[in-house]
Amino acid sequence: MTSWTPRVVTGGLDFPEGPSHLGDGAVAVVEMQGQRLTRVDADGSRSTLGDLGGGPNGSARGAGGAVYVANNGGLSATRTGGYWHAPEPFDGRVQKVAVDGTVSTVTADLPGPAPHRPNDLCFGPDGRLYVTDSHNWENLRDLKPGRIVAVSADGAVQQVAEVPAMPNGIAFGPDGRLYLAQSLTRRILVFDHTPGSGLGDPQVFAKLPAGAPDGFCFDTDGNLYVCGSVGHVVVVIGPDGSVRDTIDTPPGAQPTNCCIGDGQLYVTFSMTGELVAYDLGVAAYPLHEGDIG
């Protein structure tokens, strides 16, 4: 077991989520209730990369330094157990923040009935952007199935899977398969992926012993670091699907997503408004990058 001690990189963030490593010790995070994409440098200083509106929920770095954002339209949880609503909500969409700060909409035309609540996203080996749409996750009593949506470089949008029980974090693994957090079952699902042919049927890769799986990332050894969100834990899962380690986070922190860079595991503590780092000693599995929109 590793001794895990977090280092607070910065605090005072407005419900941070979806970190993406930018290089040179810098990390981009979305601030869901701040409605912006923020750059956090190694010394903890911050600058706004783009004003997004709605409720930015996840981010992925694209080719050329652009950052792509899954924006759920204006919703987040609160410390009191209720919901925060954006002053000017809209139906969820995928946005692009260029290196000069220009914010554009990649697509606001997502398949299936509204509400559309894009949650997380990643680029695939086929160059498409894969996005989870958690649909009406705020209504657990009448929760409808969510979706995985793929966006092509030419702007074509396709639903590639329907997933019940709140699809959430998403990433391609070193084995070329697509991994997905199914939050309400505590499971990590995995799909075979064939460029040009789509996704196979989902299989259960792992189940968290505690917490609801949210965002996650891979290291070069194939280990998966899964934020356990409401369980206030990060779970380390080996390539065989077994639990290798657990990282207990402070009570009330709510770790929601993570990324790896510079030998550090960066984790967003959404409820306490912090970006923290753990010394990891291994590098991130290289992410696919693309350019859309």
Render pLDDT for 68-110 as a digit per residue (tens, 0 to 9).
999 999 999 998 889 999 999 999 999 999 999 999 999 999 9
Render pLDDT for 25-68 as a digit per residue (tens, 0 to 9).
999 999 999 999 999 999 999 999 999 999 999 999 999 899 99
At residue 146, does pLDDT exceed 70?
yes
Confidence band (pLDDT; 50, 70, 90) for 2? low
Q: Measured between alpha carbons, how far is 166 from 224 in angstroms, rounded to an integer?
A: 20
Residues 6+ apart with CB under 8 A from 20: 27, 28, 29, 59, 60, 61, 67, 259
At residue 133, does pLDDT exceed 60?
yes
Task: Look at residue 81 in the predicted model and tell me its pLDDT.
Answer: 82
**pTM greater than 0.95:** yes
Residues 6+ apart with CB under 8 A from 148: 130, 131, 132, 133, 159, 160, 161, 163, 167, 170, 178, 180, 199
Residue closest to 286 by CA, chosen among 63, 35, 104: 63
Confidence band (pLDDT; 50, 70, 90) for 222? very high
Task: Look at residue 293 in the predicted model and tell me its pLDDT.
Answer: 86
Q: Measured between alpha carbons, how far is 155 from 61 in angstroms, rounded to an integer?
A: 18
Per the CB < 8 A criterion, the answer to whether 70 and 94 are in contact is yes
Per the CB < 8 A criterion, the answer to whether 9 and 29 are in contact is no
User: How many of the other CB atoms lie within 10 Å of CB of 255?
Assistant: 30
Residue 127: both structure tokens together: 């160059």
